[in-house]
Amino acid sequence: MNLRNAVALITGGSSGIGRAIAQSLAASGARVAITGRDDRRLADTASSLGVHAIHADVTKEADVERTYREVLQKFGDLDILVNNAGFGVFKNLVDFDLASFEAVFATNVTGAMLMARGAARHFIARQRGNIVNISSTAGLTGAANGTAYYASKFALRGMTECWRAELRKHNVRVMLVNPSEVLTNFSVVAGFEQKENPTKLRAEDIAHMVKAILEMDDRGFTPELSIFATNPKN
């Protein structure tokens, strides 16, 4: 697709990977809206990138519906949804509390579904569109402490396959992107220390690949893409 003047909606676009995708798509001439919950960070990012900010929580159905109303009011159309908002809580199974488990699923799974549902309704009506789900290599194989986060990304991967099966006949490209470890705020939110190292992936690397799979001609698409650092050092 040609990104010039395309309309892109990126959840969790105020930080990290979502922010880098917003920057990259806007630099390619797309008209971009980003969502997030922290007003200050959202406004700062939107003004520095020149994109439209929508204060919205993906776990709240009313916020999701308002997001689509705002996007269509502002831009009149939508071409791309990037389902990026997400976070992790990492604990042993025996220590896992129900509230943390449900919170991870509310954002990473239910939120992604609510957002995709709104986009799909629009895309079916216009018979074209793009959904990019930012999953993780955590969605490919399990690991200790991964009960909530890993399972949420497995679920996102599963939903991606279901949506693709439903939407492909409407010319909607449903794509899954699995980054490995990326230097962002993710670790701070998850409460662990991430060592900065020039060998580790940066948000810009993920944005580069998202832009590439979107820019491919609409006759084809990349169902799934995993991105690893070549030789990451801690």
Position 136 contacts ligand NAP (CB under 6 A): yes
Tell how strand 80-83 and strand 52-55 pair up.
unpaired
Name the segment binding ligand NAP (CB under 6 A); options: 6-14, 46-54, 160-168, 208-216: 6-14
Output the smallest distance, CB 212 to ligand NAP, in A.
17
Residues 34-53 that bind ligand NAP (CB under 6 A): 35-38, 41
Distance in Å, CB of 169 to ligand NAP, minimum: 28
Q: Does 200 bind ligand NAP (CB under 6 A)?
A: no
Contact mark string toward ligand NAP, 61..100, x via CB under 6 A: -----------------------xxxx-------------
Q: Give the pair of three-digit tokens for residue 227.
A: 């991105």
3 state SS of 8: strand
Q: How many CB atoms lie within 10 A of CB 208?
A: 14
3-state SS class at 61: helix
Is residue 139 near ligand NAP by the rule CB under 6 A?
Answer: no
Angstrom distance (rounded) from CA 114 to CA 206: 23
Say which residues have a Cβ less than 8 Å from residue 46's Cβ, sequence separation at least 6: 14, 34, 52, 53
Residue 137 beta carbon to ligand NAP: minimum distance, rounded to whole angstroms: 7
How far is Cα 28 from Cα 50, in angstroms, rounded to an integer?
Answer: 13
* Listed ranges 22-30, 118-126, 140-148, 174-182: which one lies at the site for ligand NAP (CB under 6 A): 174-182
What is the DSSP annotation of 82-146? EE---------GGG--HHHHHHHHIIIIIIHHHHHHHHHHHHHHHT-EEEEEE--GGGTS--TT-
Out of 7, 33, 54, 134, the residue judged to bind ligand NAP by CB under 6 A: 134
Residue corresponding to tokens 């025996």: 94
To ligand NAP, the closest distance from the beta carbon of 76 in angstroms equals 23
Size of the site for ligand NAP (CB under 6 A): 30
Question: How far apart, in whole angstroms, are the C-alpha atoms of residue 75 and residue 58?
Answer: 20
The answer to whether 147 contacts ligand NAP (rule: CB under 6 A) is no
Q: Does 23 help bind ligand NAP (rule: CB under 6 A)?
A: no
149 is catalytic: yes
Distance between CA atoms of residues 196 and 194, nearest Å: 6
Residues that bind ligand NAP (CB under 6 A): 11-12, 14-18, 35-38, 41, 57-59, 84-87, 107, 111, 134, 136, 179, 181-182, 184-186, 189
The residues assigned a catalytic role are 149
